[in-house]
Structures are given as C-alpha cells and as structure tokens.
Structure 1
Amino acid sequence: MDIDVVNPADGTVLATVPLTSAAQVASLTAEAERVFRSRVWSGLAPRERAAAMLRLADLMERDAEVLARLDSEDAGKPITEAREGDIPGAIESIRWFAEAADKLAGTAPATAPGVLAYTVREPFGVVAAILPWNYPLAMAAWKIGPALVAGNCLILKPADATPRSVLHVASLALEAGIPPAVLTVATGDGPTTGAALAADPRIGALSFTGSTATGRAILEASARSNLKRASLEMGGKAPHVVMPDALGLGDALIDGITEAAFLTAGQNCTAGSRILVHESIHDEVVERLAAAASALVLGDPADPATQVGPVINVAAADRILAAIDGAVSRGAVAVAGGGEVAVVEGGRYVAPTVLANVDPADPILTTEIFGPVTTVQRFSTREEAIALANAVEYGLQATVWTARLDDALALAGGIEAGTVSVGAYSEGDMTVPFGGWKASGFGGAEKSLAAFHQWTREKAVWIELPAD
C-alpha cells in the first residue's frame, strides 16, 4: 500500500511512498540491530563518526536548494522560509552535533583509597524518531545529529505528509560513507508505522515531536513493550506578555509578535497564539498588530515574495476556520483576517487572523489551533499576567516583552514553560536546550549537549583494587 504526498498549495499529488507495515518495521529493526552489534558504526572512534557526519552536512549544503524545494512543496512552506531558515538550520544542527562528538564525557567520582569509580554514557543500540510535518528536515536534524553521533542506529518515521526531504538526506548519508541501516527511513502513517516503532521491544529509545494525543499513545505503547525511553515534545499555546514599557522596544515588538504568530502559517508548537497586553497599551498594540498581520503576503509558497502559505490540508483549514467562527459568534472581534482567501485553486489559505475582545472562557484561549490565528487579552498587574500565561495545559515556550530587569526576571521565573525568551521571539541557538513542561512534553531536551541524554544511557563502573 502506498501513501500520496499532496502539495498543500494546490492539492496535486507530488509522489507516492510506501506504507511501512508492522512486519516491515520488525525487519528494519532487526537489520539495524545487526548493524549496531557489528560495530561498523558504534565501534568507530567519536571523531571518525564526526567526520562522516560533517561529510553529510557538506552534502546537505550542496543540495540545499533541492531540500528547500522538497520541504516547501510537501509542507506548503514559503520557499524563502525553507531556503533561509529551515534548511540552513538543519545543516547547522548536523555540524554542531558532529563537532560535539568528543564532548560526550562521563564522570570520575571521588572514592576511598583502593577504589576506582567512573561513569560512561553508552548508546542504546537501535533507536527511533517520529517526526512532525511542519518542520520536516529541521526536526529530523535535531534527532539525527545526537542519535548517530552517539553511536546508535536510528530509524526515522517522517510525517506521512512530508517524507521527501528526509528520504533525500538518507541517500546523502550513504554517499557520506555512513553504513547502510545506520540511518533508516520508514515512511508510513501513525497508526501503522508509528505504532509499530513504539511497540517494538528492540528499540531502546524513541523521540516524538507532534500532538499531545499521539504522544500519550506513544508513551503507553512504550510502557507496555520494553519500557523504552520516550522523549516527547508536543503541543503548545505560547503566551507573549507585553509589559507597559514594551512600546519602547520599537519595531522589534510588533515584528517579533507577528513572526511568532504567523511563521509557517501559525503551524508551529511555539507559535505566539496568545498575546497578553498591559491595559495601558492594549489598544495601540492591537491596532499595530492588526496592521502588521493584514500586511503579510499570503500566497503561493513557490513565490519568493510569499510570507504566509496554505495550511497543511482540508481538515486543518476546516478546524481552524471553525475555531475562528466559534470565537466570533461568542463576541470576539477579528481585527485582522478572520476567514479563508482564494489564492491557488486546490489549496486552503487562511488569512492571518488577530482576535480581540475574546470571552475569557472561550476555548480558543486554551486549545492549540495550529493555524494563523492569535488572540489578544488585557491584564493589569504582573501577577495577573503570570496567571493568564499559566492558564493552559501546555508549557513549551513563552516570550516576555520588556526592558525592565525586574519584570523580565519575575515573569521568566513565574511562567511555566521550558523556554522563556525576553525581548525577542526565540527558542535559543544550538547551545541552548529545548523541551516542554506539562502537556508539552518531557523526557529529554532537543539541541545542546543535553540532547545526547535522550540517546544514551549512563553506566557506572565500580572497581575495588586488590590490596598490596
């Protein structure tokens, strides 16, 4: 059975890929386990693995335009966004982890005379990753880098909507000299292929990025099989807290909020989907944000001028539009956008939408919309802002807009999120860990040296030396 890869821009079929069955997953896992035990990859010195990974990064850079086109077509991402952001970021990730290959160190605790103790971090063997469709190659690179550098054999399941860039990188891995079955791509869907990976007892660790509902199912399957380590990065409902002095930040304020809300058509776990504004500047921020959202270029993702492309599919568009219509029916005002726009026949394009005057009990304030929609709420005190920021089940990312150190520290300390940025919408660079709290996930950080902890397990060695 095959799966059609559909272009969100116009509904045309770009390719077909196999649906990897449970039996085929078992076969791929067995082969990966054989290759791991052969030590053809795991037995290399860290710097030898690093050299192969750096060759892979060079090949990705050579084919950067191909990779950008594949992600743009599969995910409906504006080509400029893929070309200037996602693909360079993926290449940087592979290089960063390759260069960190010999930084994965253990410890040597102080012991009594005649005793030697030390710890090492060792690869699991066969590991797996299940990827989202919104950042196909960027998210893959966050997992490929540390998993392979640590010596594992990795089975990747790309989202069924966006497999082609990851398949291309797998072919580049072979060209770079990485042995077959060290990096395997298993195309397919969640209920069949993803479920088989989660249930396979030979897979020692599994990293998942996607919805909270699917993450819960993966966690349950992991527990029922071999208690494999499950690392989950799931949904978000990121607040942006705009303090009274924030207008003094100039264009950075509205530009940053606009980028956070509408990058990748808002189909982003860290999308700034809740703007919390101090009452003293609320009206001005709403006016300026509405103008900025209305000025964004909604268009064909193949056009370099496009800033916002289509949403991923028909079901997503219907869900997003229903959420907007429901909020408006309960009194919210769409000060920008609010509906669908005809751009390219066969695609679904939702205008960047800003909702003000939202009922405090409206589900749109707590439900992840995963589309180009943001809401604006008022607050009067720092404590109220923290309470509003934390009034959701998610805790992935938040942004604070202020130049006051006391407000920045109080809000960063009070908001329940894995990442809090101040004065800019950011998840941090490769040196900074990224992961969620609450229903946004747990189990390990992406990026930074901390990412190696997802893909390795610690062993303690205790040696009692013979007495003289």
Structure 2
Amino acid sequence: MSAASELITVRRPADGTPIFTYRAVDEQGVREAVAVAGQAAPAWAALHPRTRGESMTELARLMERDADLLAGLDSEDGGKPITDCVTGDVPAAIESIRWFAESADKVTGSVAPTDDTALGITTRHPVGVAAALLPWNYPLAMAAWKIGPALAAGNCLLLKPAEATPRSVQHLAALAAEAGLPTGVLTVLPGHGAVTGRALAEDPRVRAISFTGSQATGRQVLAGAAVSNFKRVSLEMGGKSPQILMRDALSFGEELFEEMAVAAFLSSGQNCTAGSRIHVDASIFDEVVAGLVAVADKLVLGDPSDARTQMGPLINHAALERAESAVSDAVAGGAEVVTGGSAVPIVPGGSYLPATVVVNAPRDGALSNEEVFAPVVTVSPFRDEDEVIALANESEYGLAASVWSRDVDTALRVARRVEAGVVSVNCYSEGDITTPFGGWKQSGFGGAEKSVAALDQWTVPKVTWLRTRTAPSTAPGTAQASRP
C-alpha cells in the first residue's frame, strides 16, 4: 500500500459525526495481497477438510466471545438498531461460519453410471484465490455468507468491505488470525469500490469473485472479470420485492400487519429483500392500508444505540434525499402519502425517515420500479390472480416475494408463478442457512448464497475417467468417445 493511499473517514449515521479515519487499500496493496493469498492457497487447499473446519469452528467461537463488540461496530457504522445487530445479524454470521465449518468435509463427488469397462469420477476442487465485495447494510452477516463456503471449500479469500462499514469485518479478520488461520487465507482490504474493488475484479490471479450490492456496481464487476481472466462471477444486486395479499389475507389478523411491516421497514428498508411493493386484493384494500399504517405509526424511530429503537437512520443524507425525491415524484404523478414521507429531526445531523406508506403510485414511476432502499412502500389493488402476477413479475428484479392466503392451492399456485428466488407463504422470510439464496432476472446470477448450493460457486468440477483393465483393446481408427 503506497503512502499516497487515500484516507477515508467513516461517519456515524445516527448524527453525522466522524467515528474514525482509515487508509484505503490502493491497487498496489491489492496486488500484494493477491500475491500473499496465492502463496497460501496450495497449502490451505491441501489440508484435510476436517482441519479447515476445525479452524473455522474456532473462528465461530471467537465471534461468539466478541459478539457484543461486533454488534456495536455494525450498529454504529451502519446506523442499524443495536437490538437488531445483537439478536439478528451477529448470531446469523456466527451460524454461517459454524455451519460451513461442519460442511468442510462434506464436499462430495459422484461416480457416473458407466459400464464395467470404465470408471467416471467427478470431484470438486477449490478455485484458489477468490474475492468478495460486501455491501454496507449487512457487513458482518454478508461477510460470513461468503467466508463460510469459500474457506470450507479450500480457497483463500480477499474481502473488501463497504467504505462506510469496515470495522466489524476488520475485527473478524483479527479473530481469524487468532483462530489460527494461516496468513493469506482471509484478508480484509478496506477501500473504495472504484479502486480496491475494481483492482480485485480485474486481477487475473483472482479466479472467482462474489459481489452483493447495486446493479451499477455489479455491471462494473462483471466487466472487470471479462477484461481480465473471465473469472467466475456471482452477483446479488437487490430487489423490488412484492408482498401479495389474496382475498382471505385478513383472516391472519394482526400477524399479517406485523409481518408486512417487518418485510417493508426492517433496517429502515435498507434491505435487498425488502417487501416494498404491496399488492392487495381490491376487496380488502382499505382495511389493509389502515392496518399497515397503524403498525407503521407505532414503530420507534430513534438513535440506533437505544435498545428501544426499532428503526434507525438511513446510511447518509444522500440516501435520505433519494428517498424523499422518489416520494415527491410519485406525489407529482398522482400518488398519495398516507403516512410518513418526510424527514424528522430525531437526532441533529442524522438522516431519519419514518415508515412511509404510499397509495396510487404511478405504475411506471421510480417508486414502483426502482430499489429506493428506504422505509417506503407502495400499496396497490388488484382484481384477480392474473393481474397480480403481471404486477409482481413486471419488475426487472426477482429476488424475493411473499404470498398471503389460507387456501393452500391458491398460495402454492401464486408462489409458483411469481418470478423470484425466494417466495415465502404466510410469512416474510429468506429461509435459513440450509436453503439457497439468490435472485432471478436482474437481481443476480452465478451462484447461490447459503446452504450446500453455495459451495458450488467456490469450487470447480473435475472428471477423472479411468479405463479398467477388463476393457477390450481398441484398434487404431476405431471409434472413440465423442469429442466436441
């Protein structure tokens, strides 16, 4: 890292004050880190998988020891309520590392159904040096989703946290060293996406890269992979997820409105699976809007360090301006703001937007189609199943969705027709560590997070074809196995 590397100041979203300043890793720093990872990769891959798993289990134990510290770092850097970090994000990160540690010796191959003249064996192998670019909204949890399968499969991983939220991931790297992971196996490279991230995407020695973030940055990562070495790419680029309420949805009572609010307003709507489009059967539309607004208005908006806070600030003032602009444009197009919509002065210097519910938003407007990444939802009526499927699927995104109906046939039929990677029924959930997570359409491609499916993006298959001694000899010119 050169002396000219830029300094980055991290500011507290709660009040806009500076927390600390760090030196960004530049292109030279990336090149050096990739070289160290390349030196460590053969030995790490050659370890018995169970040994790798034991090191990762120790890392999970140390994360558990420092759970309160990790939660505090994520809360202060990202503005997320401390209760959410303590009860949600940090336990999920620990679970991910521990689960993949236990899967390290379970990356299995297969044997092809050949005749008795040959044996076809397929095995999976680590790619070698890999990279991951993290978002700011779930820094520790997203890091664990990528670290777990990458290291379990035998890779060395270079992690670039988001500029605004590096500290929990930096502490995680320190814990990895304490757990006994060799130098170069897990390296954290804080810096700007346009410099540090681009250098990782374009380095030909990096053989795989996983990215979670915006579509604009995802395109740059994909381009970097293409101009360098056609490295394997996995992209998760957000969503505009629908919540679909069928005619009988009100039978769920208050549970319905509580789940809808969580889906829409968790992390102040700064969540890639946020259920920001609510489609409601026209016969229950007014009751649903009233019920959602009643819950939204009770949410406690406040300082993220206060355990009573349910919604914290947006990450910065620019995010607040984008959200307010999207709402204003919708109103200009005929929409009505039922509650919220404007910033409130909770803490001086912070960017606080209350839970916002909008009806009659223009179908072709930004609020109905773009990922606003704020606590703003649109609610619209539909007449029948075909119409709501058309509404749900017209988005360029396809990450998540939910369907509410007590009629099992209806619920499962609608779930099948919705174009999304995760569809929850009568709840709003991304599943757990045992289920794959990934998007359709422009929400992403290239591999899933979580579950055994996540191991595929960090490994490559190899076929070993063994001709047995009992095979008849083949004279020159005799037909051989087909070739492309």
Regarding TM over 0.5, the answer is yes
Judge which range, 14-23 or 77-86, deviates more. 14-23
CA-to-partner distance for each residue in 1:83-132, whole Å, 9 max, x for gaps? 10000000011111111112210101121223111011100110000000
Between 1:415-424 and 1:325-334, the stretch displaced more is 325-334
Pair 1:17-2:13 in alignment: no
Q: Does 1:98 align with 2:95?
A: no
The TM-score normalised by the length of structure 2 is 0.95
The aligned runs of 1:288-299 (5 Å cut-off) are 288-299=291-302
Q: Secondary structure at the match of 2:125?
A: strand
Work out whether 1:184 is the aligned partner of 2:181.
no
C-alpha distance after superposition, 1:160-210 (max 9, x if no partner): 000000000100001111111100000001110000000000111100000
Q: Deviations over 1:389-424 (max 9, x none)?
A: 011100000000111111111111111111111011
Aligned partners of 1:382 and 1:407 also within 8 Å? no
User: Which residue does 2:367 correspond to in 1?
Assistant: 364
- Please, what TM-score do these two structures have when normalized by structure 1? 0.98
- The 5 Å alignment of 1:5-404 reads 5-37=10-42, 39=43, 41-404=44-407
Q: Rg bigger for which structure?
A: 2
Q: CA separation in 1, counterparts of 2:309 and 2:28?
A: 43
3-state SS in 1 of match to 2:261: helix
Report the Cα distance in structure 1 between the residues aligned to 2:38 and 2:181, rounded to whole angstroms.
15
Q: Equivalent of 1:431, from 431, 434, 438?
A: 434
Asked if 2 retains the 8 angstrom alpha-carbon contact of 1:297 and 1:305, the reply is yes
CA contact (8 A) 1:291 1:336 kept: no
Structure 2: segments with no counterpart, 5+ residues? 1-5, 472-484
Give the 4+ runs in structure 1 shifted more than 2 A. 359-363, 465-468
Identity %: 56
Letter in 1 for 2:24: L
Moved more, 244-253 or 50-59: 244-253
What residue identity is the alignment partner of 2:280?
V
Deviation at 1:463, TM superposition (A): 1.2
Is the 1:146–1:455 Cα contact (8 Å) retained in structure 2? yes
Between the aligned partners of 1:216 and 1:402, the Cα distance in structure 2 is 37
Asked if 2 retains the 8 angstrom alpha-carbon contact of 1:330 and 1:359, the reply is yes
The offset of 1:361, in angstroms, is 2.9
Residue deviations 1:118-170 (CA, integer Å, cap 9, x gap): 01110011000000000010000000000001110000000000000000010
> By how many angstroms is 1:465 displaced?
2.6
Give 1:363 deviation, angstroms: 2.4
Q: Secondary structure at the match of 1:264?
A: helix
Q: Which amino acid aligns with 1:179?
A: P
Distance in 1 between residues matched to 2:138 and 2:362, nearest whole Å = 32
Distance 1:15 1:254 in 2: 40
Tell me the SS of whatever aligns to 1:430: coil
Letter of the 1:292 partner, please give it. V
- Give structure 1 stretches of 5+ with no counterpart: none
**SS of 2:466 mapped into structure 1:** strand
Give the Cα separation in 2 of the matches to 1:453 and 1:59: 27
CA distance in 2, matches of 1:392, 1:467: 58
Task: Report how many aligned residue pairs link the two structures.
Answer: 466
Tell me the amino acid that sits aligned with residue 230 of structure 1.
V
Aligned residue identity for 2:69: V
Corresponding residue SS for 1:4: strand
Between the aligned partners of 2:246 and 2:338, the Cα distance in structure 1 is 21
3-state SS, counterpart of residue 236 of structure 1:
coil
Read off the aligned partner of 2:433 and give its amino acid letter: M
User: Letter of the aligned partner of 1:34 in structure 2?
Assistant: Q
Return the alpha-carbon distance in structure 2 between the equivalents of residues 137 and 300 of structure 1. Answer: 21
**Once the 2 structures are TM-superposed, how far is the Cα of residue 289 of structure 1 from its aligned partner?**
0.5
